[in-house]
């Protein structure tokens, strides 16, 4: 049985729940999108199953941001992923991408259920972080691009995948 995660935005207008097998907030993404939408230091996304996701309240307040990639360059384009957020308080809720229709990726910051503390933090896309942004303290693996593991394979390798 997967774990149930309950989440909400900051103002409380939006409340949601979903089932997750990969609910350890171990991977901090330092890309420009994750830093700008998540605050100075980046964002952490969890894994979840789209068919189990349930918006309990506030569907009308949810807006979607499709990120601009390579802004101000000839390669500028729009990301396929959809970042859902509360239009009243701006809190990021979850990421959905039609390329992986069975999955949804809640922002760990939106989850109110207790989460496990990872022993080691995995920091990815470190090469897009400006100098002044400090990495969090404690044990960590740092990658210039992506790490070796997917959300699923990392949880399985560390015995943290919940069937």
- Which parts of this chain interact with Zn ion (CB under 5 A)? 9, 11, 13, 29, 31, 34, 86, 88-89
- Nearer Cβ to Zn ion (50/61): 61
Cα separations (Å) of 90 from 8, 37, 83, 137?
A: 12, 9, 11, 27
CB of 8 to Zn ion, least distance (A): 8
Q: Measured from the CB atom, is 129 or 155 closer to Zn ion?
A: 129
Question: Closest separation between CB of residue 86 and Zn ion, Å?
Answer: 3
User: Which of 63/117 has CB closer to Zn ion?
Assistant: 63
| Alpha-carbon distance values, 25 to 47, 72, 73, 119, 132 (Å) | 9, 32, 33, 10, 23
Which of residues 3 and 32 has its CB atom nearest to Zn ion in the complex? 32
What torsion do the CA atoms of 45, 46, 49, 55 make, to the nearest 10 degrees? -70
Tell me the closest approach of the beta carbon of residue 58 to Zn ion, in angstroms: 7
d(CA 119, CA 63): 34
In this complex, which beta carbon is closest to Zn ion, that of residue 13 or of residue 123? 13
Number of other CB atoms surrounding residue 151 within 10 Å: 21
Minimum gap (Å) between residue 67 Cβ and Zn ion: 9
Q: Report the nearest approach of Zn ion to the CB of residue 88 (Å).
A: 4
In the chain the first and final C-alpha atoms are separated, in Å, by 5
């Amino acid at each position: 049985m997967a774990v149930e995660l309950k989440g909400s935005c900051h103002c409380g207008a939006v409340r949601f729940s979903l089932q997750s097998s990969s609910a350890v907030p171990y991977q901090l993404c330092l890309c420009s999108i994750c830093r700008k939408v998540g605050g100075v230091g980046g964002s952490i996304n969890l894994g979840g199953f789209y068919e189990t996701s349930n918006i309990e309240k506030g569907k009308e307040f949810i807006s979607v941001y499709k990120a601009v990639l390579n802004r101000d360059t000839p390669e500028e384009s729009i990301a396929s992923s959809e970042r859902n957020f509360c239009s009243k308080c701006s809190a990021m809720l979850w990421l959905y991408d039609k390329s992986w229709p069975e999955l949804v990726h809640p922002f760990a910051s939106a989850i109110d259920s207790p989460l496990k503390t990872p022993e080691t933090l995995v920091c990815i896309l470190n090469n897009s972080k400006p100098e002044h942004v400090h990495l969090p303290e404690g044990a960590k693996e740092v990658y210039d691009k992506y790490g070796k593991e997917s959300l699923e394979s990392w949880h399985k390798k560390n015995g943290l995948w919940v069937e």
